[in-house]
């Protein structure tokens, strides 16, 4: 076990990013995700490209027709890796058992206690290898580890994602917004690490 200079084990600090990923986030989370276009004119004027516009339209239509998809997330804490610890996350959004979105992320925690660099690998749609990409973005953990803000590039646009942990530390609500869309995540931890 790696010790911090003060003699405290790395994963037992009160740094907001440790609290958020190691104390609260670690485990299996289930819930639902929503996605809506909030401004069709802004979407059509945006410079996200034809492929992304088609994907956005399809995602909006599928949810309107079939309801909110299921979201599953598994976060594994690795406090002894990297300078200040890392956490791995696999997010799967599905409908009727078909994967609509698969995201594998590694959160690299900054020694300042609040910053995070996120390395992501995503797949849109059920076909492996077709609509995939890797990307990096940043996050800031706040409110003593009970909230986070991510600046995420998704579907060709820059999204701001605000995550808020409930007081019971067992559920999470997120709102993601860009100039033409809004998405939400509502999840609850169903299994914590042993």
pLDDT at 9: 52
Q: How many CA atoms lie within 13 A of 164 on its CB side?
A: 6
* DSSP at 45: H
The pLDDT score that the predictor gives to residue 170 is 97
What is residue 11's predicted lDDT score, i.e. its pLDDT? Answer: 57
Pairing of strands 157-165, 86-95: unpaired
* DSSP run (H or E) holding 62: helix 50-66
So what's the pLDDT on residue 13?
A: 83
pLDDT in tens, 85-116: 999 999 999 999 999 999 999 999 999 999 99
Compute the CA torsion angle 17, 19, 20, 21 (nearest 10 deg). Answer: 80
Model-wide pTM > 0.85 = yes
pLDDT at residue number 193? 76
Question: Distance between CA 74 and CA 181 in Å, rounded?
Answer: 26
- Given a cut of 70, whether residue 141 has pLDDT beyond it is yes
Contact 90, 74 (CB under 8 A): yes
Q: Tell whether the model's pLDDT for residue 2 goes beyond 60.
A: no
Q: What domains are defined for the chain?
A: 10-191 (2.40.128.20)
Q: What does the DSSP assignment read for 23-42?
A: III-EEEEEEEEEEES-HHH
Reply yes or no on whether the pLDDT at 128 is more than 50.
yes
Q: What is the pLDDT of residues 9-49, one digit of tens each?
A: 555 689 999 999 999 999 999 999 999 999 999 999 999 99
Burial of 2 (0-12, 13-18, 19+ CB in 10 A): exposed
So what's the pLDDT on residue 1? Answer: 43
Nearest to 124 by CA among 52, 49, 48: 52
**Contact at 8 Å (CB) between 118 and 139?**
yes
Tell me the per-residue pLDDT of 42-81, one tens digit each, with 9 for 90 and over.
999 999 999 999 999 999 999 999 999 999 999 999 999 9
């Amino acid at each position: 076990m790696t010790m911090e200079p003060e003699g405290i084990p790395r994963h037992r600090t009160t740094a907001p990013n440790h609290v958020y990923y190691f104390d609260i986030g670690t485990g299996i989370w289930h819930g639902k995700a929503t996605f809506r276009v909030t401004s069709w004119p802004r979407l059509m004027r945006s410079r996200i490209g034809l492929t992304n516009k088609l994907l956005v339209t399809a995602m909006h239509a599928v949810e309107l027709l079939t309801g909110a998809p299921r979201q599953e997330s598994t976060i594994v804490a690795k406090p002894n890796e990297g300078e200040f610890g890392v956490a791995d996350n696999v997010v799967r959004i599905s409908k009727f058992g078909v994967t609509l979105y698969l995201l594998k992320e590694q959160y690299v925690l900054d020694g300042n206690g609040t910053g995070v660099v996120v390395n992501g690998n995503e797949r849109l749609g059920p076909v492996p290898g077709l609509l995939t990409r890797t990307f990096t973005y940043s996050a800031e953990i706040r409110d003593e580890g009970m909230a986070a803000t991510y600046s995420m590039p998704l579907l060709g646009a820059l999204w701001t994602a605000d995550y808020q942990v409930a007081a019971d530390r067992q559920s999470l609500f997120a709102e993601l917004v860009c100039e033409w869309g809004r998405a939400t995540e509502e999840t609850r931890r169903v299994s914590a690490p042993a």
